[in-house]
Amino acid sequence: MDLLELWESKMEDDKEAVKFWKEYYSPMETAAYRHILKTKISKGDKEAVSTFAFSAKFFMDTFGMPLYCVAGFLEGLNEALEKEIGTDTLKALPEDAQFELTINFEDLFKKMVEYKADYLFSLEEWREVFTDSKLRGLFKAQKESTTIVHADRVGRNDPCPCGSGKKYKKCCGAVV
């Protein structure tokens, strides 16, 4: 079983998955994101994109992540990276693997909102990366991007939208 399969197996049993996320993985993931956000802040870089150098062993030693959790973490981070880490690399991730990650922080924040990871998108460190108004704008933009807007339906007694002047039920809505 490769590392990603092991990672995914933790998600198969609903009861076990909830326990795994809440009690085990979430604290490690939160600590890793706090570190990434603090590292970005310490660079004094106010751009939305920053590059960091990390190793798999760093994640393991610093955050107590088993190697399969590092693979899962990096797979989740992939969507916010300028250049994704290949699936084959993540499946057989060596401990000494070195990564240069170029992270788009706007995309990262939006992904956290999309996945309803409030424990991540509400981290205090985000306020050092973006202003409160920028965070609200990113949050709103992500929420609106997933909102489905249905066009108004034409009532059967409304004028037909084709412009004929007839009622919809007697024109384009007529049952033949």
State the residue for tokens 């699936």. Answer: 87
Q: Does the pLDDT value for residue 39 go beyond 90? A: no
CB 69: neighbour CB atoms within 10 A?
23
pLDDT band at 149 (very low <50, low <70, confident <90, very high): low
Does position 47 have pLDDT exceeding 80, yes or no? no
| Matching residue, tokens 């991730």 | 93
pLDDT of residue 42: 58
Global pTM reads 0.76
Number of H helices, E strands in the chain: 10, 2
Q: Model confidence at 150, in pLDDT bands (50, 70, 90)? A: low
C-alpha to C-alpha distance for 67 and 97, rounded to whole angstroms = 11
Please check the confidence at residue 147 and state whether its pLDDT lies above 70: no
